[in-house]
Every structure is written in structure tokens, then in C-alpha cells.
Amino acid sequence: MEKKNAKILLIDDNDVTREVLRVILRSEGYNVAGEATDGGTGLELAVKLRPDLIMLDIVMPKISGTEILPRIRELLPDARVLMVTANKDQETISEVVKNGIHGYILKPFNAQKIIDTVASVIAKINK
């Protein structure tokens, strides 16, 4: 899949994180189709937008990323999910990997790491 055709949804309660991700992704030619600040809104947007890639924060108010991940997998089986987290806890990472994520990005992140990780996930779509 070409990156300009890939629709990306950002789900993260931190405004700065979403802004940084949006700026980096758009500067690389990606289509950031939507943004949500919590899991519930994120899930609704995901169903509406049907993104190719969802960048999902783990720790959020109301509904966490780990809580909506199984619903995303069920409702959007073709969507790729990258977890974005400051949580290096092995147990949490094991849980989200078990639930079918396609990778994760640890905060604080650098632009190149995001670009490389997103590019590798997008490249595997429709192969």
C-alpha cells in the first residue's frame, strides 16, 4: 500500500503526543484521517473511518487502549494497530501483543522511530 493512500487514526489523550504524531506522519505524506482523546470516541471513529492503521495509546481516561483493543480487532479485523505507550511493563506489552497488535512505539519517541515503524506496518498491508 502506498503511504498516501493509508488512512491513520490517532487515539491518545495527550494533545502534545497527538500533535507530534500528526506533524511527523503528515510530513511523511501520510493521511491522518482522524483523532480521538479516549477509547470510546476512538472506537466510534475507527468504525466510521475504517482506518488502515490505528495508533493507540494504552493509558487513557475512561476507557483504556487495552480495553478497546479486543473490540477493534473484532470490528475491524483488517486494521493494523500500533500501541503508543510510555509503559515498559512486560505484562502490559505481552497482553496487547496477545490481543493482536502489529507493533508498539515507546514514549518518549523520536521521529525516525515513528517513521520507520509506521512504514514497515503500512508496507505489509495488502501484500
For residues 7-28, average pLDDT: 95
Tens-place pLDDT, residues 37-74? 999 999 999 999 999 999 999 888 888 888 999 999 99
For residues 12-26, average pLDDT: 95
List the helix and strand counts (H, then E) for the chain. 5, 5
Residue 98, amino acid: K
Closest by Cα among 27, 38, 29 to 10: 38
pTM for this model (two decimals): 0.90
Backbone dihedral angles phi then psi of residue 88, each to the nearest 5 degrees: -95, 10
For residues 6-30, average pLDDT: 95
Q: Which residue is associated with the grid cell 503500512?
A: 122
Residue 73, amino acid: R
Q: What was the pLDDT predicted at 100?
A: 79
Kindly tell me if the per-residue pLDDT of 127 is higher than 60: no
Tens-place pLDDT, residues 71-117? 999 999 999 999 988 877 777 777 777 777 888 888 888 899 999 99
Average pLDDT, the chain: 89
Q: What percent of the chain has pLDDT over 90?
A: 61
Residue 112, amino acid: Q
